[in-house]
Amino acid sequence: MKYKLGQKVRYRKISKKIEVDQKYWEFDDFEEYEEKTLKRRESICLDKERNGYIVGRRKLVFYTIFEAAEEEGSLLEPGAEWVRIKWQEYGFAYLVAYTMGKTNYVLEDDLREAD
């Protein structure tokens, strides 16, 4: 851990969660046993640099790999198609408070010590 709790930092990029849209789950695009990768976080560049304080470190999901599957012997619908999570790629980000009650997730590479 490069930065310590309570340390003052500056940053310009934040990491934000990408909401999964319902249209992603269309089965027409999937072929049997095909894998798809879904990016779960995006990097956003702020208009101006922010000052903040390190308040924690979190393990976040950055990518999810899905695969199409067919359920055998389902009680609801025999042969139903569905998508299952095959693998998730995790990473760490710092939780930085920039006002009372407002925080951002910031990757370590995007942080620098404040003067």
Q: Residue 31's pLDDT is what? A: 61
Residuewise pLDDT in 10s, the chain (115 residues): 689 999 999 999 999 998 876 555 555 555 655 777 888 999 999 999 999 999 999 999 999 888 777 666 555 555 556 677 889 999 999 999 999 999 999 999 999 998 8
Q: What is the pLDDT of residue 89?
A: 95
Which one, of 76, 72, 84, lies nearest residue 27 by Cα? 84
Give the CA-trace dihedral at 14, 37, 60, 3, to 10 degrees.
-50
Question: What is d(CA 68, CA 26) in angstroms, rounded to the nearest whole number?
Answer: 11
